[in-house]
Structure 1
Amino acid sequence: MKTSAGILLYRPFEDGDIEVLLVRPSGLHRSGGPKPWSLPKGLPDPGETLEQAARRETWEEAGVKAADLFPLGSIQYTTKSRKIVHAWGGLIPDDADPHCASWEVDRVAFLSVDEAHSVLHRDQRPFVDRLVEYLTEDLDGFRNAEREVG
């Protein structure tokens, strides 16, 4: 069974919304249409940790070097492959310039949470939900701490 690792980077807006950085793998899906969008991800090289693999794949596919990350857990594909994907989330660095950095992807884009849900591989959608939950809990914790101080 294959195990891969990826990163779900986000950029926030002042109104509280976020967009997530996704890639669309090159080539066609077996249905004949484009493949579903994905987190930048891939298989670890020998001797690499899963987080190191996730960072390398994000650089190789989207041209972005991730900074601080937090774990988003793992999922197992419900498809025949039963592949396991481990993911991390993080704020996109200010100086990042996402672009197709590999033949493996034909699109790199920031998408809203709703757009991401509509185009993302169905088994990877929980990562978006986990990211939103993490950010919401983090913001709620900040708000509660602010109330206690103020």
Structure 2
Amino acid sequence: MAAVSAGILLYRSVDSETEVLLVHPGGPFWAKKNEAAWSIPKGLVDPGEDHLDAAKRELFEETGVTLSSEPRLLGTYKQPGSKSVEVWVAKADGSEEPDPSVSSQFDIEWPPHSGKREFFPEVDRAEWFVLEEAALALHKGQVAMLDDLRRFLSE
């Protein structure tokens, strides 16, 4: 069975521009990558876990942000490989400033074949992007979310 992730596409309006909150993966593989490296806050849904609850949990675990508005389902997006991401959209009220220092950590052998284990944050940065910049920053499998957000905002 394919893995399912859930996430929140948090947006806000600043000076008549729509911005979205994106996170940058931590660890040495992503350290020097920026374009097409960012993601919405998301993660795997635990067995038996409600998908929206998983999305809210991941948003908090990766950014420290708790929602002030009730999210609406935006859609399900197929990612490269067999994973899909169920995405909810929510409007920020201005109090949602991300703090990636709360991010959980993972460990890997680093440098490779050294026998040493190093710990890295799951997320090393969280930033607001205007939609045009977000389209360049996001993984290619997530860019379609921005088009759906534009449609959602025009309803």
- Report the TM range for the smaller structure's normalisation: 0.7 to 0.9
What is the aligned-residue identity percentage?
Answer: 40
- Residue segments in structure 2 that go unaligned for 5+ positions in a row: 104-120
* In structure 2, C-alpha distance between the alignment counterparts of 1:34 and 1:106, rounded to whole Å: 12
Structure with more strand by fraction = 2
- Corresponding residue number in structure 2 for 1:136: 154
* In structure 1, C-alpha distance between the alignment counterparts of 2:123 and 2:99, rounded to whole Å: 10
Q: TM-score of the superposition, structure 2-length normalised? A: 0.79
The 3-state SS of whatever aligns with 1:39 is: coil
Q: TM-score of the superposition, structure 1-length normalised? A: 0.82
The correspondence of residues 1-150 of structure 1 with structure 2, limited to 5 A, is 1-15=2-16, 17-27=17-27, 28-29=29-30, 33-34=32-33, 36-66=37-67, 67-77=69-79, 79=80, 81-100=81-100, 101-102=102-103, 103-137=121-155
- Residue segments in structure 1 that go unaligned for 5+ positions in a row: 138-150
Give the deviation of 1:46 after TM superposition: 2.9
* In structure 2, C-alpha distance between the alignment counterparts of 1:108 and 1:14, rounded to whole Å: 20
Structure with more helix by fraction = 1
Question: What's the CA shift string for 1:117-145, capped at 9, x where partnerless?
Answer: 001000101111111110012xxxxxxxx
